[in-house]
Amino acid sequence: MYVNPTLGVTSLPAKSNGDWTAGLALERGQAYISVIPSEIGCPGTSSFLELVLTLSVHELGHVLGLAHHGIKIVSGNKYCPMTFAHIKEAMKNRVPLQECISLLDPRNFCDGCAVKLQTTYQTRNFRSIVD
C-alpha cells in the first residue's frame, strides 16, 4: 500500500457523526485537524503547539495505517499517540479534550505501532519520528 499523506489544518469546526472532532483521517491518505482555540487552547503557547503536534501525529498515524488502541505507555507516564480508549472515557466524564490529548506523547509510538509502520513502509526508524 502506498499513500501520499496529506495533513490539512483548519480553524473551522469539524464534525464526525454530528459531534465536534479535533481531527479526522479520511480516505486516500488525507487527514485534517481542526484547530479551534476555544477547544484546544491559546495559539502561540507551547501547550497549544504541543497539542497541534500531537493531533497531527495521531491523524497521520491513521493515514499511515494505524488504528486506535488501549493505553500503552511509551515514555514517562505518557501514552502512544494512537491511544484512544482514555479519550472516549474522559469525554464521557467531561474531562477537557486538551487534558486528554496532553497525556499522549507525539514523539514516540509504542512497539506495536512502530513495528506496523516498519513492516508496512520498510523504514528503519519510526519509533521516534520527531527530533
Query: What cell was used for 93?
Result: 466524564
* Closer of 41 and 105 to Zn ion (Cβ): 105
Residues in 32-91 at the binding interface with Zn ion, rule: CB under 5 A? 80, 82
* Closer of 60 and 110 to Zn ion (Cβ): 110
Tell me how far, at minimum, the Cβ of 37 lies from Zn ion, in Å. Answer: 21
Q: How many residues belong to the site for Zn ion (CB under 5 A)? A: 4
Query: What cell was used for 78?
Result: 505518557
Residue 113 contacts Zn ion per CB under 5 A: yes
> Measured between alpha carbons, how far is residue 130 from residues 61, 105, 127 in Å?
13, 11, 9
Q: Which residues contact 70 (CB under 8 A, 6 or more apart)?
A: 83, 85
* Closer of 35 and 80 to Zn ion (Cβ): 80
From 11-19, 36-44, 91-99, 104-112, give the range in contact with Zn ion by CB under 5 A.
Answer: 104-112
Residues in 3-32 at the binding interface with Zn ion, rule: CB under 5 A? none
DSSP 79-113: EPTTB-HHHHHHHHTT--HHHHHTTB-TTB--HHH
Question: Measured between alpha carbons, how far is 27 from 6 in angstroms, rounded to an integer?
Answer: 11
* Closer of 51 and 110 to Zn ion (Cβ): 110
The residues of the shown chain that bind Zn ion, judged by CB under 5 A, are 80, 82, 110, 113
